[in-house]
């Protein structure tokens, strides 16, 4: 199996390292752009599991519309631009590792003059590790406070899952959770065991207790969180999709965002303190 595993580095037209491609067992693979350290592809079982819009910008002019953009240090609108600056900065490729069951790559982002001049001026180091096996992908972030004072932040992995038909996709694991519905402007408790999306949806499910899975076409993707409290469920549907220049008008039917993060509350780190947060995505067959 080891001879199946490899790491490919791809340069842009100017010769600069642009993205890293991981080739894992059984034709599994993942592609990570240095711009935003954005995972733009993940194949398992010869199927692409992530959605990236055909209209997405991959030239560094704006955040990638699809894959797994990284939200830090701010979720949504606020003092900083939408979703913070991590998804629109070029990260440093640190290293790769081929291990018995798969292959991984690590990336780094730290503060610079521009971030220190922003309304979130703190010193930090982020280490991001993407690891794939035949049926899994883990994306784990290490957050470190290298400043002299404590700071707070929110963070999220904005995962766009590819589904054959979003109206047929079924999300389990949210029943009993309090959620903030950002479309309707209400808070409520999720009563459904099986959540489906048939309209513009933008919900923050708070303090989700266990595994969330998304079922479609005889398979499911199980989403397990590490030190992240919340799940965001998002689909723009036709009206919102038409308003986005980097999103095809009909593409909403091919995707469902199931995003792990801590966004309903903040994460606090004291000077020198670190925390690891992230997710493990596992493709599983649904027994009939």
User: CA 28, CA 48: separation in Å to the nearest integer?
Assistant: 9
Assign 287 a pLDDT band (cuts: 50, 70, 90): confident
Ordered DSSP codes for 163-185:
-S-GGG-EEES-TT-EEEETTTT
252 phi/psi in degrees, rounded to 5: -55, -25
CA-to-CA separations, 43 to 14, 64, 116, 268, 282, in angstroms, rounded = 28, 18, 37, 35, 11
Read off the pLDDT of each residue in 143-149 and give the average, rounded to a whole number: 98
Per-residue confidence (pLDDT) for residue 2, from 0 to 100: 42
Q: In the chain, helix, strand, coil percent, each to 5?
A: 10, 50, 40
- The answer to whether residue 3 scores a pLDDT higher than 70 is no
Read off the pLDDT of each residue in 158-168 and give the average, rounded to a whole number: 97
Per-residue confidence (pLDDT) for residue 288, from 0 to 100: 59
Those residues whose C-beta lies under 8 Å from the C-beta of residue 273, and which sit 6 or more positions away, are: 144, 145
More confident residue, 46 or 38: 38
Question: What total number of domains does the chain contain?
Answer: 1
User: To the nearest whole number, what is the mean pLDDT of the chain?
Assistant: 96
User: CA 211, CA 178: separation in Å to the nearest integer?
Assistant: 16
What's the pLDDT tens digit per position in 181-221?
999 999 999 999 999 999 999 999 999 999 999 999 899 99
Assign 144 a pLDDT band (cuts: 50, 70, 90): very high
Domain that holds residue 247: 2-285
Per-residue confidence (pLDDT) for residue 4, from 0 to 100: 82
Q: Three-class SS of residue 208?
A: coil
Residue % of the chain over a pLDDT of 70: 99
User: CA 224, CA 242: separation in Å to the nearest integer?
Assistant: 32
> Around Cβ 147, how many Cβ atoms within 10 Å?
17
- The answer to whether residue 108 scores a pLDDT higher than 90 is yes
User: CA 98, CA 7: separation in Å to the nearest integer?
Assistant: 8
Per-residue confidence (pLDDT) for residue 286, from 0 to 100: 86
Placement of tokens 């409520």 in the chain: 188
Say what the pTM is.
Answer: 0.96
Count the residues in the chain.
288
Q: For the CA atoms of 220, 226, 228, 232, what is the dihedral angle to 10 degrees? A: -10
- The answer to whether residue 1 scores a pLDDT higher than 70 is no
Read off the pLDDT of each residue in 112-117 and give the average, rounded to a whole number: 96
CATH number at 43 reads 2.70.98.10
Cis peptide upstream of residue 26 (ω within 30 degrees of 0): no
Per-residue confidence (pLDDT) for residue 111, from 0 to 100: 98
Assign 272 a pLDDT band (cuts: 50, 70, 90): very high
Do residues 197 and 205 touch, judged by C-beta distance below 8 A? no
> What are the residue numbers of the active site?
158, 259
């Amino acid at each position: 199996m080891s001879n199946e595993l490899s790491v490919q580095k791809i340069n842009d037209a100017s010769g600069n390292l642009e993205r890293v491609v991981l080739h894992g067992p059984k034709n599994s693979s993942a592609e990570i752009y240095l711009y935003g350290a954005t995972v733009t592809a993940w194949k398992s079982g010869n199927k692409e599991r992530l959605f990236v819009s055909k209209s997405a910008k991959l030239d560094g002019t704006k955040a990638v519309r699809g894959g797994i953009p990284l939200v830090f240090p701010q979720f949504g609108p606020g003092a900083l631009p939408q979703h913070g600056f991590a998804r629109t900065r070029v990260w440093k490729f640190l290293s790769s590792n081929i291990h018995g069951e798969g292959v991984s790559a690590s990336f780094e982002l730290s503060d610079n003059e521009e971030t220190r001049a922003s309304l979130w001026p703190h010193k930090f180091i982020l280490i991001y590790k993407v690891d794939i096996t035949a049926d899994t992908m883990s994306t784990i972030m290490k957050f470190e406070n290298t400043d002299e004072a404590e700071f707070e932040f929110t963070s999220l992995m904005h995962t766009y899952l590819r589904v054959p038909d979003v109206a047929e996709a079924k999300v389990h694991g949210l029943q009993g959770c309090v959620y903030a519905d950002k479309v309707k402007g209400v808070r409520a408790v999720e009563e459904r065991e099986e959540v489906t999306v048939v309209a513009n949806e933008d919900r923050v499910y708070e303090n989700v207790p266990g595994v969330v899975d998304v079922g479609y076409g005889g398979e499911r993707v199980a989403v397990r969180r590490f030190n992240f409290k919340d799940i965001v469920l998002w689909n723009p549907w036709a009206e919102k999709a038409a308003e986005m220049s980097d999103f095809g008008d009909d593409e909403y039917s091919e995707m469902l965002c199931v995003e792990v993060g801590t966004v309903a509350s903040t994460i606090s780190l004291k000077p020198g303190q670190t925390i690891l947060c992230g997710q493990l995505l596992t493709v599983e067959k649904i027994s009939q």
